[in-house]
């Protein structure tokens, strides 16, 4: 299996930590993984994006130029990444913040109200987890359990209650309760 | 030996150096290597070492000169423009036979260039870089795991032959995260034997002098020739390389670092189409694996060098194969990583050209 992912949004939406979490979960799952952040002239409030590869084979290039899956967390990211998705690929869109819709008809579009899910859990910072939950459901590349297992390794200083809320957001994002 | 970790290449370099016994780091910020000094700023105090954010690259390399002269495993890091600034100090360390260790997390150039990963500093690394007749031991990792495990080897070679050693890597490997294991037991620098040239307390022993300056007629040549013997020994004994699927290959790709990863994608695609392609990856850039490439030249139809520079590595390959086989070039300078697909296309062009004029391309 090979799964190339791009995650994109505002700085502060947990774009980079979502990418690290996916990579860590893939590693614990026994897969080959890479994570690569965009590190251009980024600034606070600007856009951030990263590439993650999860593969059963050795990963060659860590920069995903033709993603199987794109997670779009804010409006500007949609226009930037819509042209790159592989035909037949998946675009997960945070419909709480993204009002436009892709024009392409050869990709699967999945709408998730990430911010609403996070607000319902009274933890507005974990909207990214709802998107990762949808990622698990749509791609099958990772299980929610694998991500939950990686969480304490990546968020080393998070309290157990907070990690539990993260798992709930993952499940809600995947349409589970 | 240790658990599997998920680390950034730059962090792996820093942690690998600390585990290798590095107890002095001086540096100055520049993208894309900033994680190295940042990591060292908290990690060195943990192990009783020293971290200095210097006022400039020139200051940092000269602090390294002083620290290495005491026999302490010492390191600096920077990225291309900063490494240019350090060249004077590197030449002085080479002239004083000091085993300094430095890292270039290279970016696109020339000049201020950009902050993407690039390989334009190849000549600077393997042909000296600073002034005078000297060589630097150069290793080129291609994974985060190698980033973490090569610093120890650099220190050991540097100390064995009393030469500067460096890791030449790039912004992609520096910034990416990948699983790694540190495959060596942590070095306690207290258990290392104090070198017989190191400066420090000289009570009860003869004075020692570390320097690169000698005006006595003929003496400097004598010193340089003695050093050249050590260079010859390094060339004979310290070459490292990896060859993949070269045994039955019609054409062999030659690449190092991140460019070699793009090549391994191309090899996979080509083999799936029945094209017999191999990959030869120099791990030490100096000493260069000349003999191994010369031997391959008798068996293959052609070589295709893939580098993220205008055509630097290709010179060493041509010198090594002594024109026994055509050497083609695919060059992507100034911060562009080639894709497996484009390399596959070049492989086909190179095979079609056969023994004719080498194919050279940059897109």
For residue range B33-42, what is the model confidence (pLDDT) as tens digits?
A: 999 999 999 9
Considering the domain architecture, whether residues B281 and B137 belong to the same structural domain is answered as no
Distance between CA atoms of B263 and B339, rounded to whole angstroms? 8
A-chain residue closest to B264, CA distance: A60
Considering the domain architecture, whether residues B231 and B85 belong to the same structural domain is answered as yes
Considering the domain architecture, whether residues B232 and B328 belong to the same structural domain is answered as no
Give the minimum alpha-carbon distance from B258 to chain A in angstroms, rounded to a whole number. Answer: 8
Q: Name the pLDDT band for A12 (thresholds 50, 70, 90).
A: confident
Distance between CA atoms of B118 and B139, rounded to whole angstroms? 16
Specify the pLDDT at position B160: 98
- Select from A20, A36, A150 the residue whose CB has the most chain B CBs within 10 Å, as the one to mutate to test that interface: A36
Please name the helix (run of DSSP H) or strand (run of DSSP E) that holds residue B277, with its range, or none. strand B277-282
Specify the pLDDT at position B3: 79
Q: Prior bond to B32 cis, omega within 30?
A: yes
Considering the domain architecture, whether residues B356 and B273 belong to the same structural domain is answered as yes
- Tell me the residues of A at the B interface, defined by beta carbons under 8 Å apart: 20, 23-24, 27, 32-37, 39-40, 58-63, 65
Percent of chain B with pLDDT over 70: 99
pTM of this prediction? 0.95
Using alpha carbons, select from A109, A110, A128 the residue that is nearest to residue A169: A128
Considering the domain architecture, whether residues B180 and B247 belong to the same structural domain is answered as no
Beta bridge partners of B251: B277, B302
Specify the pLDDT at position A47: 81
Collapse the DSSP code of B174 into the 3-class scheme (helix H, G, I; strand E, B; otherwise coil) and give the result.
Answer: helix
pLDDT tens-digit profile of A63-107?
999 999 999 999 999 999 999 999 999 999 999 999 999 999 999
Considering the domain architecture, whether residues B165 and B46 belong to the same structural domain is answered as yes
Specify the pLDDT at position B40: 98
Query: Of B171, B202, B237, which residue is a domain's last?
Result: B237
Considering the domain architecture, whether residues B161 and B295 belong to the same structural domain is answered as no
Domains of chain A: 2-173 (3.40.920.10)
Distance between CA atoms of B324 and B301, rounded to whole angstroms? 9
Specify the pLDDT at position B363: 67
Collapse the DSSP code of B175 into the 3-class scheme (helix H, G, I; strand E, B; otherwise coil) and give the result.
Answer: helix
Domain that holds residue B346: 242-361
Contact A40 B265 (CB under 8 A): no
Collapse the DSSP code of B250 into the 3-class scheme (helix H, G, I; strand E, B; otherwise coil) and give the result.
Answer: coil
State mean pLDDT over A32-51: 84
Q: What is the CATH number of the domain that holds B334?
A: 3.40.50.920
pLDDT tens-digit profile of B256-268?
999 999 999 999 9
Residue B281 within any structural domain of the chain:
yes
State mean pLDDT over A31-44: 83
Residue B266 within any structural domain of the chain:
yes
Specify the pLDDT at position B273: 97
Q: CB of B41 within 8 Å of any CB in chain A?
A: no
Contacts of A30 (CB under 8 A, 6+ apart): none
Please name the helix (run of DSSP H) or strand (run of DSSP E) that holds residue B170, with its range, or none. strand B165-170
Low-confidence ranges of chain B (pLDDT < 70): 1-2, 356, 363
Q: What is the DSSP string of B65-89?
A: HHHHHTT--EEEEE-HHHHHHHHHH
Query: Of B173, B204, B237, which residue is a domain's last?
Result: B237
Considering the domain architecture, whether residues B229 and B275 belong to the same structural domain is answered as no
Residue B198 within any structural domain of the chain:
no
Considering the domain architecture, whether residues B233 and B258 belong to the same structural domain is answered as no
Specify the pLDDT at position A43: 65
- What pairing do the DSSP bridges indicate for beta strands B241-244 and B277-282? antiparallel
Domain count, chain B: 2
Contact A62 B171 (CB under 8 A): no
Considering the domain architecture, whether residues B21 and B143 belong to the same structural domain is answered as yes
């Amino acid at each position: 299996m090979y799964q190339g992912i791009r995650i994109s949004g505002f700085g502060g939406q947990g774009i980079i930590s979502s990418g690290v979490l996916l990579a860590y979960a893939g590693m614990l799952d026994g897969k080959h993984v890479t994570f690569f952040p965009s590190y251009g002239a980024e600034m606070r409030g600007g856009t951030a994006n990263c590439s993650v590869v999860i593969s059963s084979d050795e990963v060659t290039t860590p920069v995903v130029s033709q993603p199987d899956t794109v997670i779009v967390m804010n409006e500007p990211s949609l226009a930037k990444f819509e042209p790159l998705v592989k035909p037949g690929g998946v675009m997960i869109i945070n419909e709480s913040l993204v009002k436009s819709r892709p024009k392409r008809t050869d990709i699967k579009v999945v709408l998730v109200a990430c911010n609403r899910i996070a607000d319902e859990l009274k933890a507005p910072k974990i909207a990214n987890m709802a998107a990762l939950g949808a990622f698990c459901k749509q791609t099958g590349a990772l299980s929610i359990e694998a991500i939950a297992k990686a969480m304490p390794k990546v968020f080393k200083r998070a309290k157990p209650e907070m990690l539990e809320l993260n798992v709930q957001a993952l499940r809600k994002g995947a349409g589970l309760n | 030996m240790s658990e599997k970790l998920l680390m950034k290449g730059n962090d792996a370099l820093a942690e690998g150096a600390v585990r290798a016994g590095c107890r002095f780091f001086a540096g100055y910020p520049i993208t894309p290597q900033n994680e190295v000094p940042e990591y060292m700023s908290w990690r060195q105090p943990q192990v009783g070492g020293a971290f200095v954010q210097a006022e400039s690259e020139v200051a940092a390399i000269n602090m390294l000169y002083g620290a290495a002269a005491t026999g302490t495993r010492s390191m600096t890091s920077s990225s291309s423009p900063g490494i240019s600034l350090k060249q004077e100090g590197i030449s002085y360390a080479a002239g004083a036979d000091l085993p300094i260790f430095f890292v270039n997390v290279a970016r696109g150039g020339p000049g201020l260039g950009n902050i993407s990963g690039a390989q334009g500093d190849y000549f600077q690394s393997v042909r000296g870089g600073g002034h005078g007749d000297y060589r630097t031991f150069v290793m080129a990792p291609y994974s985060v795991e190698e980033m973490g495990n090569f610093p120890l080897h650099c220190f050991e070679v540097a100390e064995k032959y009393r030469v500067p050693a460096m890791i030449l890597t790039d912004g992609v490997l520096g910034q990416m995260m990948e699983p790694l294991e540190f495959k060596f037991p942590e070095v306690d620098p207290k258990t290392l034997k104090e070198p017989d040239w190191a400066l420090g307390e000289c009570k009860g022993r003869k004075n020692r002098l570390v320097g690169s300056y000698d005006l006595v007629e003929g003496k400097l040549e004598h010193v340089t020739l003695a050093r050249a013997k050590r260079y010859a020994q390094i060339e004979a004994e310290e070459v490292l390389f990896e060859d993949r699927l070269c045994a039955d290959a019609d054409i062999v790709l030659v690449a190092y670092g991140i460019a070699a990863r793009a090549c391994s994608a191309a090899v996979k695609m080509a083999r799936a189409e029945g094209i017999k392609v191999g990959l030869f990856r120099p791990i030490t850039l100096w000493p260069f694996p000349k003999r191994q490439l010369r031997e391959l030249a008798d068996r293959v139809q052609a070589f295709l060098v893939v580098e993220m520079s205008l055509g630097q590595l290709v010179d060493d390959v041509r010198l090594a194969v002594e024109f026994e086989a055509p050497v083609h070039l695919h060059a992507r300078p100034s911060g562009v990583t080639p894709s497996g697909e484009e390399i596959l296309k070049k492989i086909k062009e190179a095979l079609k050209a056969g023994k004719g004029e080498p194919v050279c391309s940059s897109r």
